[in-house]
Amino acid sequence: MGLKHVLAVVALTASFTPSAQAPADYDAGLAAYGAGDYHAAATQWKELAERGEAQAQFNLAFMYDNGQGVPHDYTTAAFWYLAAAEQGHPDAAWNLGMMYASGQGVARDYVEAYKWLSVSALFGDEDVQGDRQAVAKLLTNSQLSETELWLLEWTPRQSSAGLIGTPTELDRPGTKPAKLPALAQ
């Protein structure tokens, strides 16, 4: 899938930290992850993720994406990436965009891919531009315009106590990921 942040879970605390409601749980998860006890880390972060903590949602998504301490499950990874991306988490938005581009865990949808890659860029992740441009080449001018309008109206969702849906609400196409075409020189 070409995820940029292979080691991002270990160094996650810079821009998104959990709220004061349970910092010990987050820190315990971070310590467990650093020690290679992925199951314990997932257990700690799942409760925080369910309460709406964007960083815990991203971490849990990453773990499902890679099968670390939890079953390898792209659909559940996409669910948690979406929950974090909706709050403006740039790495979650990037990973979700790449999942939409490849059809991994969700139905392949280049418009959705472009939307979430653009959200990542909107929040300052300049490294996403290559992937965003590659997806843009797959869209019509009308689709690009529609997406740009969506971005103008989009605002991050505030963390809330409770989930917005369930992983089964995401599509399960069963398709293997496709490599995005390289940018033309």
* Cα–Cα distance measured from residue 30 to residue 34, given in angstroms and rounded to the nearest whole number: 6
pTM greater than the 0.85 cutoff: no
95 burial via Cβ count (<10 Å: 0-12, 13-18, 19+): buried
- Beta-carbon contacts of 66 under 8 Å, excluding residues fewer than 6 positions away, are 72
Higher pLDDT, 82 or 179: 82
pLDDT at position 119:
94
- Beta-carbon contacts of 97 under 8 Å, excluding residues fewer than 6 positions away, are 112, 113, 114, 115, 116, 117, 118, 119, 120, 128, 131, 132, 135
Q: What Å distances lie between residue 2 and 19, 60, 65, 113, CA to CA? A: 30, 18, 12, 14
Any idea which architecture 23-169 has in CATH?
Alpha Horseshoe (1.25)
Q: Is the pLDDT of residue 18 over 50?
A: no
List pLDDT tens digits, range 134-160: 999 999 999 999 999 999 999 998 765
Map out the domains of the chain as residue ranges: 23-169
* Cα–Cα distance measured from residue 123 to residue 93, given in angstroms and rounded to the nearest whole number: 10
Query: Which single residue is written with the structure tokens 């979406």?
Result: 82
Q: What is the mean pLDDT of the chain?
A: 79
pLDDT at position 159:
65
12 burial via Cβ count (<10 Å: 0-12, 13-18, 19+): buried
Kindly tell me the sign of the dihedral angle through the C-alpha atoms of 78, 80, 83, 89.
negative
Q: Is the pLDDT of residue 175 over 70?
A: no
* Cα–Cα distance measured from residue 27 to residue 24, given in angstroms and rounded to the nearest whole number: 5
